[in-house]
Amino acid sequence: MTNHSYNRHARQIILASASPRRRELLASLGADFIVEPSKASEEVPADWTPERIVEELALRKAQSVLDRYPGEGVVVGSDTIVVLDGSVLGKPEDEQDAVRMLGMLQGREHFVYTGVACLHKASGRREVRHRFTRVRMKDLTEQRIEDYVKSGEPMDKAGAYAIQGLGALLVESIEGDYFTVVGLPLSLLGEMLEGFGIDLLPSNP
């Protein structure tokens, strides 16, 4: 047996994220996992590309947990950003900032990037990848934006909206992977975990 071929039942997944959305997505696959929130810094240079940002932050989050986790599992880190005209929109600082962001996004297309990192301490194996999805938001009135912001949903979301919640009412269309927009591209994660010997699709005897 090589380092790249593991027993699928012998590897637990450690999700390096406090995000309830990522936890729900992973749970929807019936995966065996535990949650260990990352303490990694999310500061990056202003000149980094979106691809580099999400891959580096996903890697940092996974590495932060790997460094303090004594177990045998595969650590999964993930990071999501919204990009409009080349500018990165993070999480809003307050309601006014959320209104500003949504005012910029309304009636236009933007991109959502999500990076994923998988690390395994014993073998030293690591893999970091990303996906992006194009999203078009509806034309929105100021009142519509304010009503959404008052719901409280945008406050901890990149780009100030959640496509899996009330934010779905603001989105006109997407081109690409829906789960990338939510924050964890499940198809990509499944491919990556297979490289660590973890197959999330149950096999029949």
Active site (catalytic) residues = 79
For residues 190 and 182, is the Cβ–Cβ distance under 8 A?
no
* Alpha carbon distance, N-terminus to C-terminus of the chain: 21
Taking alpha carbons only, the member of 204, 105, 87 closest to residue 154 is: 105
Whole-angstrom distance, CA of residue 83 vs CA of residue 79? 13
Distances (CA, A) of 50 to 7, 59, 87, 123, 197: 35, 14, 9, 29, 29
Q: Which two tokens stand for residue 109?
A: 């297309």
Angle (CA) 113 114 118, round 5°:
150
Torsion sign (Cα): 159, 160, 163, 168: negative
